[in-house]
């Protein structure tokens, strides 16, 4: 049972739990319609409940709930419901930073001030299902505001979804995407041409760099050292891998374990060979 503290709109209220005396945001169709402060209400099947005691990257949930237009809380809730359908278990506390982002995205679109996301293509590949799920917001925004949202904005929403299913902050997901982009750019520079993103070796490289960055951020270390072998067998790929690890380390403000160099060199060699074979066929 909840005592209504504030009615935000027809579909959202802030309620105080009768037993714990803690505040919650409750979203559900018509839950606030005709209701008044101080009344007692129950949560129905299908209603979504969010604790306002949480702290997020963009501030306290309680402060965000008070500052964000309730409609954007509803929209973010719809996106998270779709994410829950796809991924089953998610952390819904990303509702507030996601709603905050969506509200600013709509303002930017209305003011013809689109935001650039240089990592969109990488996010689309690295977080494929999250990107696909984030696209559910297109018809929602079209229905409510008559606006079209571009892939750059979808990419940012995909990162919020990723943070909900991986217990990973959006900023950390951005670090991973940025590191992958730096890595791919350096490899492309080394081989002298763009990499075909449809190849298996490319996707293996992408996934390896993602896991490499995650290990660097968590402090996890690989056990088998391939550096001596790779350094002798493929010296050019090994040097490129070393340069990339140094660059990624500077970007992440941490030093990657030297064991990572050999594994990365192996993936770089595979990509370079695929590109060489492709060029020969042409």
User: What domains can be seen in the chain, in order of their start residue?
Assistant: 1-53 (2.30.24.10), 62-168 (1.10.1790.10), 171-264 (1.10.1790.10)
Is pLDDT of 76 > 90?
yes
Is pLDDT of 155 > 70?
yes
pTM above threshold 0.85: no
Buried b (16+ CB within 10 A) or exposed e, 173-199: bbbbbbbbbbbbebbeebbeeebeeeb
DSSP 251: H
Among the listed residues 204, 203, 223, the one whose alpha carbon sits nearest the alpha carbon of residue 215: 223
The predicted structure's pLDDT at residue 235 = 92
Q: What is the mean pLDDT of the chain?
A: 87
* Cβ–Cβ under 8 Å, residues 82 and 135: no
Is pLDDT of 115 > 90?
no
CA–CA dist 173, 160 (Å, integer): 9
Is pLDDT of 11 > 60?
yes
* Cβ–Cβ under 8 Å, residues 170 and 163: yes
pLDDT (tens digit, 9 = 90+) per residue, 197-238? Answer: 777 777 888 888 888 888 888 888 888 899 999 999 999 889
């Amino acid at each position: 049972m909840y005592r209504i503290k504030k009615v935000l709109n027809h579909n959202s209220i802030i309620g105080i739990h009768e037993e714990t005396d803690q505040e919650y945001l409750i979203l559900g169709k018509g839950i606030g319609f005709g209701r008044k402060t101080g009344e007692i209400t129950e949560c129905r099947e299908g209603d979504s409940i969010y604790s306002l005691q949480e702290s997020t990257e963009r501030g306290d949930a309680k402060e965000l709930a008070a500052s964000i237009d309730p409609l954007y809380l509803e929209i973010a809730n719809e996106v998270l419901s779709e994410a829950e359908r796809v991924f089953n278990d998610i952390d819904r506390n990303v509702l507030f930073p996601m709603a905050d982002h969506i509200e600013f995205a709509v303002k930017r679109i209305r003011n013809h001030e689109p935001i650039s996301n240089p990592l969109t293509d990488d996010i689309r590949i690295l977080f494929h299902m999250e990107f696909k799920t984030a696209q559910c917001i297109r018809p929602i925004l079209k229905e409510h505001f008559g606006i079209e949202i571009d892939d750059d904005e979808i990419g940012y929403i995909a990162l919020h979804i990723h943070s909900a299913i991986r217990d990973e902050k959006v900023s950390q997901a951005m670090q991973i995407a940025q590191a992958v982009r730096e890595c791919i750019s350096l490899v492309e520079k080394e081989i002298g041409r763009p990499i075909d993103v449809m190849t298996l070796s490319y996707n293996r490289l992408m996934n390896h760099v993602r896991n490499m960055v995650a290990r660097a951020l968590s402090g996890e270390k690989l056990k088998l050292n391939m550096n001596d072998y790779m350094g002798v067998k493929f010296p050019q790929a090994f040097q490129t891998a070393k340069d990339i690890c140094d660059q990624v380390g500077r970007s992440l403000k941490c030093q990657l374990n030297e064991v990572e160099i050999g594994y990365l060199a192996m993936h770089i060699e595979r990509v370079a060979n695929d590109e060489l074979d492709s060029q020969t066929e042409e």
